[in-house]
Every structure is written in structure tokens, then in C-alpha cells.
Amino acid sequence: EAQVTQNPRYLITVTGKKLTVTCSQNMNHEYMSWYRQDPGLGLRQIYYSMNVEVTDKGDVPEGYKVSRKEKRNFPLILESPSPNQTSLYFCATAQGARTDTQYFGPGTRLTVL
Amino acid sequence: GQQLNQSPQSMFIQEGEDVSMNCTSSSIFNTWLWYKQDPGEGPVLLIALYKAGELTSNGRLTAQFGITRKDSFLNISASIPSDVGIYFCAGTDPNMIYNQGGKLIFGQGTELSVKP
């Protein structure tokens, strides 16, 4: 079954404590992306990756890092989380360069106290 | 950057009613997409539109790509309780050709509630 998996699904943490949200896909998709969803703002893109070792900033990259060392994984790293990063995070994948049809993971709800 | 304005922000309707929502932009887009997000889930693609003027249906859903390439609408006919959720419009960065490049810009969402 084609899947995009995110872990953890829920996380409560404190300001400044480094964390990583993992994203894994089994569809052999080249493209992967991270979004955050906030009430009234829709989904905003944080970072995306067109392929292994190729990453680029989205619209709201500040405070986040990513890496793409292998095709199936695209972790989102918050080196020093702050309360304004409390949000619902989604990982998405797409085949090749057809980023108009993206498949989303189930989401990770992060609360930073 | 580019922004999409989606309206209405929320709708409360009776089962069986038709629904219409739209999305506008100050700049042109090459692709218009409509996603639905069920409660507790990630968005799922409903309809993709690739040409100005294109009208596409998916069951009870119909969407159109505006002639000016700056707007799109989504209609749902004869709504049912499982239509509940948040509907997002999205567009690909118009500076990227052939929908490549990675950037997808989303509207704020329309939250739909259906009363049985």
C-alpha cells in the first residue's frame, strides 16, 4: 500500500529542545515537501526537495532545517523550537517533477511550550 | 509571494444543498488544484485543472479554471454528511513551467459543515 508516514503524530515539547519529525514514503517519489497548517492561513510550504541531496526553501523556512540523504526519508528538524512553531505539520510527496499532484501524510501536531 | 484568497471561510448547509466556493489570485497560475482535508487527516487531491477555461467533474464535484487564470471555483452538488471537511484551493508557482519546480501555494481553506 502506497504510504506517507510521519512520526510522531503528536508531540508536546518545550522551547529550545531540539526535535526531529520524520517523514518516510514507500512510493519511490523524487519530490518531498514539508508544510505547516495554521488556522486562517491554510498550508504554507516550509522546505521541499526535488531529489536526493537537493533541497530548497519554501515560503516559511525560518527556524527549520531539512535533509534528504536518501530518497524515502525527508526529516524536518527544529534546532531550537519556539512557541510560534506550534502548528500542524504535513509531509507530502510527488512523482518526478509533477508537484501539482502531491500525496500528503497524516500530519504531526506539535505544541511548543 | 503569491497569495490565494479563498471564500467563504466557512459554510453551514443542509444535506442535499449545493455548495459553491471560489479562489482568486492577484497573479496568474498555471495549474489550479482542489484538495479536501477530512478531520484528523492530510489533504487529498480532488480535482486538478491545467488549462484556462477547463471545466472538470469528479462525481458530484465540478471545478473550473478561470479564463483569466486568476481564479477557480469548486461546486459540490447534492451535499451529503461525508462532504464535511476543509476544502483548499492550490496553485503551482506561475514562474515554473510544466508544473515543475516544487512550489505549491494554498488558499486559506473553506470549512464545510453539513447538517443531516
In this complex, do A100 and B44 lie within 8 Å of one another by their Cβ atoms?
Answer: no
Give the pLDDT confidence of B8-17 residue by residue, as tens digits.
999 999 999 9
> Which pLDDT score is estimated for A67?
96
User: What's the CA gap between A100 and B90, in Å, rounded?
Assistant: 9
Neighbour count for residue B15 (Cβ, 10 Å): 12
In this complex, do B102 and A102 lie within 8 Å of one another by their Cβ atoms?
Answer: no
Residue B107 touches chain A, beta carbons under 8 Å: yes
Give residue B98's pLDDT band: very low, low, confident or very high (50, 70, 90).
Answer: very low
User: What's the CA gap between B68 and B53, in Å, rounded?
Assistant: 8
Q: Answer for the pair B116, B13: CB distance below 8 angstroms, yes or no.
A: no
Give residue A40's pLDDT band: very low, low, confident or very high (50, 70, 90).
Answer: confident
Give the pLDDT confidence of B40-92 residue by residue, as tens digits.
899 999 999 989 999 999 999 999 999 999 999 999 999 999 999 999 999 87
Per-residue pLDDT at A21 exceeds 90: yes
Per-residue pLDDT at A111 exceeds 70: yes
Residues of A in contact with B41 (CB under 8 A): 106-107
DSSP A21-78: EEEEESS--SEEEEEEEETTTEEEEEEEEEETTEEEE-S--TT-EE--SSTTB--EEE
Give residue B95's pLDDT band: very low, low, confident or very high (50, 70, 90).
Answer: low
In this complex, do B102 and A56 lie within 8 Å of one another by their Cβ atoms?
Answer: yes
C-alpha cell at A5: 508516514
Please calculate the CA angle A66-A7-A90 and round it to the nearest 5 degrees. Answer: 60
Q: State the amino acid at position B43 in one-letter form.
A: P
In this complex, do A101 and B33 lie within 8 Å of one another by their Cβ atoms?
Answer: yes
Secondary structure (3-state) at B51: coil
Class of residue A62 by CB neighbours under 10 A (exposed 0-12, middle 13-18, buried 19+): exposed
Give the pLDDT confidence of A53-97 residue by residue, as tens digits.
999 888 899 999 999 999 999 999 999 999 999 999 999 999 876
> Which pLDDT score is estimated for A30?
92
> Which pLDDT score is estimated for A14?
96
